[in-house]
Amino acid sequence: MSILDRKLLRDLRALKSQALAVALVMACGLAMMIVTRSLILSLTTTRDTYYERYRFAQVFARLKRAPNFVRAQLAAIPGVATVQSGIAIQVTLDVPGLAEPAVGLLNSLPEHGAPVLNLPYLRAGRLPQSHTARTELAVSEAFADAHGLKPGDTLSAVLNGRKEFFQLSGISLSPEFVFEAPPGAALPDNKTYGVFWAPYKELATAFQLYGAFNNVALTLAPGASEGAVIAAVDRIIAPYGGRGTFGRENHPSHRRLDDEIRVLQGLSIAYPVVFLSVAAFMVNSVMSRQVALQREQIAMLKACGFSNAQVGRHYFKFSLAIVVVGVALGTAGGIILGGKLVAMYHLFFRFPQLAFVLDTHVLVLAAAVSSLAAFIGVAGAVRRAVRLPPAEAMRPEAPASYRPAFIERFRAAHWFSASFRMALRNIQRRPVRSALTCLALALATGIMIVPNAFRDGVAYVLDFQWDVVQRQTATLSLVEPQAARAIADFRHLPGVELAEPFRYVPIELRSGPIVRRMNLQGLSAHATLSRVIDARPQQLTLPERGVVISAKLADVLRVKPGDFLIVHTLEGEERDVTVPLAGLADDFAGIAAYMEIHAVNRLMLEGDRINGAHLVVTAAKWSEFLHAVKNTPRAAGCVIKASIREGFRQTTAQSIGLLQKMYMMFAVIVAFGIIYNSARISLSERARELATLRVLGFTRGEVGAVLVGELVLLTIVALPFGLALGSAFARGILSVVNTETVRLPLVLTPANYAFAVLVVAVASALSALFAARKLANIDLVSALKALD
């Protein structure tokens, strides 16, 4: 080891806590980078191998009914490699232990042989078989987990108006349903929506589809044009009630997963840039101080004949040591955080196995960018060091010159104490450093705002959904749509003060090539319970004609009020109806379509029919009401608002809670690191001054106050600035995150601001105290030794 390297080690040991503070901030950025890049890698590789092994199709089409021979026509389209046709149909389920009816999407398994595309992955049990005593179903894992279902359990479903019992043969997953949510929903609701697999024969027989199919998936031959194949499929299935053909980019599960990866990509750049910039600044301040302290040593080295490059390299190595520690800590942190986040993804995305895969390339990248940050940080300081002519450097640095601070021009300045003046003038003497310290503290405050803005946004959406939009206490639904007279029965239930009917029809909404599935909600024009709210936000009166859809859905379908849309009904007699777009609803969760209830009845070519009613029930008669509902045979289910609300709150709290902890840790590390580093640097620069104060008889506490006064001022300035910055972050991130499936409003509350301020202020105060402990170590005698 060269003598210079030995010096390096000793210098490092002397600066170990400061070096650690910088390394920690750097580690935050690197951990974020490693986590996000690794999650992207984990998700994409898991997805790609899953898609490939379980043969996820590339083009999908739904139709009303086509005889099986059409399959051969589809297979003959140039560019089509494999075709799988079958039945996919939505049914109402009665799940033991669940008050409300759940929705099941039943998919057929081929009558002969194994599936060739979208193969189910069996987690437990076996695939359902035909000709068993009781019809069998395989259930998706998410739904099974939500209800504690196991192979062997039974379940009933209404198939084409008849209630039938099924036995669960197994639990499985499918590349088609990685994200398993009802059409249009933002968050998976695994209690009320599940995917199932049934033998073709049973399903086809129940729906009078034997010898035909209503769902087709296909893969493309290498080099085939997806657009051309989609057009050809559309042409062939059109006579059979074709309802649009789409590629993977419009596949709901695939798209949701893609959205997630896109968000991760954004975060994988934004956060590391922020944290590494702060780390670069910290490296710069530490190294500048180090170079200033070692002026004479640098001069001596140069006088002895060391080259500028050698001296420069020496100091650069110093910061590389910080990088090494930062990369090590960042990698460890990234792996730990990654493991936790992957577990959180399991709530949303179901894969046979989703393991955290460390992206090893990103480690190289992490080392490279943090070295770059360190290099940028150290470059200025080292340039100053090597430029110093040896003779000049041998002399001690000229005394710092000061001016009265700007604000001392005001009259009130007369009352400033000497220590306050010292703080002001120190800030003013190093404007750039003060501004950057302030900025870093503002960043720490700002990043605290983001997760809490998410939390408040979710809370707002839930409140909006359940206090403004859905104002009922309970919703009763009927087994089957019935004549509107049924509502009279509901009105007579104990405690019911108000009952408003609704009609839900599953539909597909189409505009040109773009298709989305959802429920068309038929509501009274002047409903007071379940309401449609516009952007103002005020209740929107549903017009006699036309449909009202989510503003975001209008964006997706590229339509505006006055344009026409095709509504394809998926209940009863399936048909296409062209309706005008009458208005836009401002809602948050997923996508929705609303229509005046009688207009829905006309569209369905039916009389006054309803699916159920929204009710207001007095609290006093609540238990009587529940008891009566259980004995109402026609009521398929009763949704109690308060319990759903609680369920949502818990799921979101779980995932946001993790993010909150993560961001809080980052904020604390940055605030702590910046303050500690600044305090240590002032302590070093002002050792003589502080020792003088001690000699004059100032107590350690009083001198500590002088030391941190400057930082307190900077923190006070940084906090409001940080709140503004955090609000801007939250706005920016939301605009990236907001997609068709997930939308959040920007909600910034005083509590959020107060918490961010509190955390940063406490972290700063503790770190200042921690640094001020070093005051005890100042050796008064040696600090005051005459300048040589």
List contacts with other proteins (CB under 8 A).
398-404, 417-419, 421-422, 425-426, 429, 688-689, 691-700, 702, 780-781, 784-787
- DSSP-assigned letter for residue 745: -
C-beta of 3 vs 432, nearer to other proteins: 432
Residue 307 or residue 699: which is nearer to other proteins going by CB? Answer: 699
**DSSP states along 569-634:** E-SSS--EEEEEEEEEE---SS--EEEEHHHHHHHTT-SSEEEEEEEEE-GGGHHHHHHHHHT-TT
Q: How far is the CB of 781 from other proteins (least distance, A)?
A: 5
Total Cβ atoms within 10 A of residue 336:
13
State which residue, 1 or 786, has the beta carbon closest to other proteins.
786
Q: Which amino acid is at 528?
A: T
Look at residue 102 and give its three-state secondary structure: strand
Q: E strands, 200-242, where? A: 212-220
- Of 375 and 698, the one with the shorter C-beta distance to other proteins is 698
Shortest spacing between CB 649 and other proteins, in angstroms: 54
Tell me the one-letter amino acid at 712. Answer: V
CB 785, min distance to other proteins, A: 8
**Following DSSP, what letter does each residue of 239-258 receive, concatenated?**
GGT---EEEGGG-HHHHHHH
- CB of 768: closest distance to other proteins in angstroms? 19
Q: Helix or strand or coil: residue 474? A: strand
Please, what is the minimum distance in Å from the beta carbon of residue 695 to other proteins? 5
User: What distances in angstroms separate CA 545 from CA 200, 284, 483, 552, 562, one per listed residue?
Assistant: 40, 67, 21, 21, 11
Closer to other proteins by CB, 353 or 777: give it. Answer: 777
Of residues 103 and 422, the one with the C-beta less far from other proteins: 422
Least Cβ distance, residue 770 to other proteins (angstroms) = 20
Q: Where are the alpha helices (DSSP H) in 464-575?
A: 486-491, 551-557
Nearer to other proteins, 427 or 458 (CB): 427
Euclidean distance between CA atoms 306 and 212, whole angstroms: 87
Least Å distance, CB 397 to other proteins, is: 11
Residue of 502, 457, 788, 769 whose CA lies nearest to 639: 502
In whole angstroms, the minimum distance from the beta carbon of 426 to other proteins comes to 6
The rounded distance, in Å, linking the Cα atoms of 350 and 177 is 8
Residue 527 in tokens: 């409903």
- Minimum gap (Å) between residue 333 Cβ and other proteins: 40
Of the pair 360, 699, the CB lying nearest other proteins is at 699
Minimal distance, residue 433 CB to other proteins, in Å: 15
The closest of 570, 589, 559 to 244, measured between CA atoms, is 570
CA distance 85 to 333: 47
Of 304 and 412, the one with the shorter C-beta distance to other proteins is 412
Residue 37 or 433: the one with the smaller Cβ distance to other proteins is: 433
Q: For residues 111 and 702, which CB has a smaller minimum distance to other proteins in the complex?
A: 702
Angle, helix 750-772 to helix 700-737, in steps of 10 degrees: 140
Q: 719 exposed, middle or buried (CB, 10 Å; 0-12, 13-18, 19+)? A: buried
By the 8 A CB rule, do 208 and 763 touch?
no
For other proteins, the closer CB: 133 or 696: 696
- For residue 398, the minimal CB distance to other proteins (Å) is 8
- Shortest Cβ distance from residue 657 to other proteins (Å)? 46
> 195 has which bridge partners?
105
E strands in 135-204: 136-140, 154-159, 162-173, 193-199
State which amino acid sits at residue 132.
T
